[in-house]
Amino acid sequence: MILIDGKSLSLQEIRRVATEGEKISLSREATDKIHQSREWVEDIINRGKPVYGINTGFGIFADRQISSHETRLLNRNMILSHSVGTGDPLPSEVVRAAILIRANTLAKGFSGVRPLLVETLLEMLNRGIHPVIPSQGSLGSSGDLAPLSHLALVLSTDEEDLDELSGFAQYRGKQMSGKEAMNKAGIPRIILEAKEGIALNNGATFSAAIAALACCDAENLLSVAEISLSMSLEALLGISSAFDPRIHESRQHPGQIAVAERILELTRGSTLLDSTNKIQDAYSLRCSPQVQGPVQEILTFASGVINREINAATDNPLLFDEGEAISGGNFHGEPVGLVMDYLGIALTEIAGIAERRVFRLTDGRLNENLPSMLVDQHQDAGLNSGMMMPQYTAASLVLENRSLATPDSTNSLPTSAAQEDHNANSMTAARHTRQIINNTAHVLAIELYTAARALDIRIREIPHTKLGIGTNAAFQCIRASVPYQAGDALWGPEIDTVKRLIITREITSAVNKADKNQ
């Protein structure tokens, strides 16, 4: 059980709730803060003073005061009119992450909502209600308005309570109206009161949700990239001196130092390394710490930004001591957009250098006398194509990544009659980085698959070969699911199996277990 308090939610907790269904509840401290902020909102309403987002219109209509008896209609209209997203629905894990982040934001006690609203969000998570959220239509400022409004459609209602105005949700594997899903789960839908509509849909919450999961996935991919590099290094009879700690300490970059150290750990005990008279390796091997190391540092930076964002108050206005309502711009998704662009660029380099190693493994002029395209025997070349086409796929994904990595946060168009004249485009940046992550996982699967085949051939040709402790664990993990096939075969499903081993963290777990046993 994860207890949310508005200030200590972690990226890994988000991943567990989003992908493993871990339960959550609201802390007593957070409940008290929410009660206090709600009292401030009620006081503002009673005084009749115009305060943006509480008793005024929204955006360009901020100067229009709304009477107290129209408050419910104001909030209902906002959710209905803002639910205009388009595109394929977001995956359920993204939706779950967003619901959790939004609940955590409101739990900080700056938003003026009722505890009932936060508790409803948590009940939706705990009982498996997943609103259908279109993936496109958000500028990331004023937050992810359209996606969050689609979320609000499912949990909120009005006096008429019409099924056709309740959005859609997934419940127990079936899609149905939001009203039906909430009824089947036994969760009452609520009529939004003053401030609650804008508190629900203001903030770059879906951007942050995708970003949080991206950071978790990227951390796993960087560990896999060290393993795939190490396997390729052994298969290509590489030179270990390029990873000497003295070289990397002389440059002082911590990520570079860490990657070089990890490669030496993974390949410890290998009889394939340093077994030739070569002087140095190609850049894709020799300079891998200098390429993959900085990406680790970028991930650390991005994770820090996103960790702050998931524990931030991001709607507008915010309420402070004695009920002072201050209007600002914490909903602006620029921090998320910028770091997602940065992380997407960095991961594009991980895929790019991995593809270069796949190319070397398959080129008979560059792979240290292995058969061209890694056909089983030299004489099979021509009759069999070997690993020719997996390298094509890797190259295609790398090229796609390069297009996806074009920064999105630098793009802006004004909205709301130029009242909102600079937008973050954070949702697009996060979505593109998520696609880069998926592409990169596939490229790494191709490298692992190709390197494992190359190692099979090395082991056959060089008797008594010993692989490194870590690389052997990864090799055995792959071969337990995908046995070696001598001739051409349907490689695609087998590569997909290796990709699954990456995503489920089975390969990294096998390597970590081997490390602990030494």
pLDDT in tens, 80-115: 999 999 999 999 999 999 999 999 999 999 999 999
pLDDT given for residue 247 in this prediction:
98
pLDDT (tens digit, 9 = 90+) per residue, 272-291? Answer: 999 999 999 999 999 999 99
Helix axis angle for 334-362 and 388-404, nearest 10°, is 160
Q: Which of 217, 215, 191, 184 is nearest to 336 (CA)?
A: 215
pLDDT given for residue 229 in this prediction:
98
Which CATH superfamily is 210-315+331-410+425-450 part of?
A: Fumarase/aspartase (Central domain) (1.20.200.10)
The residue ranges of every structural domain in the chain are 2-203, 210-315+331-410+425-450
Which residues neighbour 61 within 8 Å (Cβ) at sequence distance 6 or greater?
Answer: none
How sure is the predictor about 226, in pLDDT bands with cuts at 50, 70 and 90? very high
- 8 A C-beta contact, residue 284 and residue 366: no
- Inform me whether the pLDDT recorded for 375 exceeds 80: yes
- Inform me whether the pLDDT recorded for 461 exceeds 80: yes
Could you give the residue numbers annotated as active site?
Answer: 52
pLDDT over 90, % of the chain: 92
- Inform me whether the pLDDT recorded for 68 exceeds 90: no
pLDDT (tens digit, 9 = 90+) per residue, 464-483? Answer: 999 999 999 999 999 999 99
Which residues neighbour 132 within 8 Å (Cβ) at sequence distance 6 or greater?
Answer: 89, 150, 167, 168, 169, 170, 175
Domain 2-203 bears CATH identifier 3.30.420.10: no
pLDDT (tens digit, 9 = 90+) per residue, 376-428? Answer: 999 999 999 999 999 999 999 999 999 999 999 999 999 988 888 899 999 99
- Inform me whether the pLDDT recorded for 515 exceeds 90: no
- pLDDT higher for 46 or 209? 209
**Placement of tokens 């939001």 in the chain:** 178
pLDDT given for residue 124 in this prediction:
98
pLDDT given for residue 59 in this prediction:
72
Task: State pTM to two decimals.
Answer: 0.97
